[in-house]
Amino acid sequence: MPETLSLEKKVQERPARKKVKVFAHYDSAALAEMEKLYTSTLSEIREDEIVKGRIVSISNKDVTIDVGYKSEGIVSLLEFRDEEEGEVKVGDEVEVYLENIEDKMGQLILSKKKADVLRIWDKIYDSIENDTIINGKIINRVKGGMTVSLSGVEAFLPGSQIDVKPVRDFDALVGQTMDFRVVKINPVTQNIVVSHKVILEEEYAARREEMLANIKVGMVLEGTVKNITDFGIFVDLGGLDGLVHITDITWGRINHPSEVVELDQPIKVVVVGFDENTKRVSLGMKQLEAHPWENIELKYPVGSKANGRVVSITDYGAFVEIEKGIEGLVHISEMSWTQHIKHPGQFVTLGQEVECVILNIDKEHTKLSLSMKRVNEDPWIALSEKYIENSLHKGTVSNITDFGVFVELEAGVDGLVHISDLSWTKKIRHPSELVKKNQELEVKVLKFDVNARRIALGHKQINPDPWDEFEQKYAVGAETPGNISQIIEKGVIVILPGDVDGFVPVSHLLQGGVKDIHSSFAVDNELPLRVIEFDKENKRIILSALEYFKDKSKEEIEAYLQAHPNEKKEIEDATAELEPQPKGGK
The pLDDT tens digits for 36-93 are: 554 544 455 666 677 888 888 888 888 888 887 767 788 777 777 665 545 778 888 8
Band (pLDDT 50/70/90 cuts) for residue 571 is very low
pLDDT of 287 higher than 60? yes
Q: Are 95 and 52 in contact (CB under 8 A)?
A: yes
- Give the model confidence (pLDDT) of 341-395 as tens digits: 899 999 999 999 999 999 999 988 889 999 999 998 888 888 888 999 999 999 9
Report, at the CATH architecture level, how domain 131-201 is classified: Beta Barrel (2.40)
One DSSP character per residue, 229-248 reads -SSEEEEE-SS-EEEEEGGG
Distance CA 401, CA 384 (A): 25
pLDDT of 105 higher than 70? no
What mean pLDDT, rounded, does the chain reach? Answer: 84
**Does residue 338 or residue 186 have the better pLDDT?**
186
Distance CA 273, CA 242 (A): 10
Residue 27's pLDDT is 59
- Give the model confidence (pLDDT) of 290-313 as tens digits: 888 888 899 999 999 999 999 999
Question: Which alpha helices (H) appear in 414-543, and where do they start and end?
Answer: 467-473, 517-520
- Give the model confidence (pLDDT) of 480-539 as tens digits: 999 999 999 899 999 999 889 999 999 999 887 888 899 899 999 999 999 999 998 888
Residue 16's pLDDT is 41
In Å, what is the CA distance from 198 to each residue of 182, 205, 244, 362?
10, 10, 27, 55
Strand ranges (E), 101-152: 108-111, 134-142, 145-150
Residue 426's pLDDT is 83
pLDDT of 111 higher than 60? yes
Band (pLDDT 50/70/90 cuts) for residue 22 is very low
Band (pLDDT 50/70/90 cuts) for residue 124 is confident
List own/partner pairs for 410-413 with CB under 8 A and 24 or more apart: 412/336, 412/337, 412/338, 412/339, 413/338, 413/383, 413/455
- Give the model confidence (pLDDT) of 318-334 as tens digits: 999 999 889 999 999 99
Residue 42's pLDDT is 46
One DSSP character per residue, 161-218 reads GS-SS--S-SGGGTT-EEEEEEEEE-TTT--EEEESHHHHHHHHHHHHHHHHHH--TT
Residue 33's pLDDT is 61
- Give the model confidence (pLDDT) of 417-435 as tens digits: 999 999 888 888 899 989 9
Average pLDDT rounded to a whole number, residues 90-104: 75
Q: What are phi and psi of 259, to 5 degrees?
A: -70, -20
Band (pLDDT 50/70/90 cuts) for residue 143 is very high
The fold of the 30-116 domain, in CATH, is OB fold (Dihydrolipoamide Acetyltransferase, E2P) (2.40.50)
Strand ranges (E), 17-70: 49-58, 62-66
Class of domain 215-288: mainly beta
Of 112-121, 168-177, 272-281, 540-549, minimum mean pLDDT range: 112-121
Residue 155: name the closest of 133, 137, 131 by CA: 137
**Does residue 468 or residue 86 have the better pLDDT?**
468
In Å, what is the CA distance from 100 to each residue of 51, 73, 120, 241?
12, 10, 21, 58
DSSP state of 365: T
Report, at the CATH architecture level, how domain 475-562 is classified: Beta Barrel (2.40)
Where in the chain are the domains? 30-116, 131-201, 215-288, 295-371, 379-458, 475-562
pLDDT of 218 higher than 80? yes
Domains 215-288 and 379-458 fall in the same CATH topology: yes
pTM beyond 0.75: the answer is no
> Going by CATH, does the domain composed of 379-458 fall within 2.40.100.10?
no
Q: Are 116 and 83 in contact (CB under 8 A)?
A: no
- Residue 37 belongs to what H/E stretch? helix 28-39
Class of domain 295-371: mainly beta
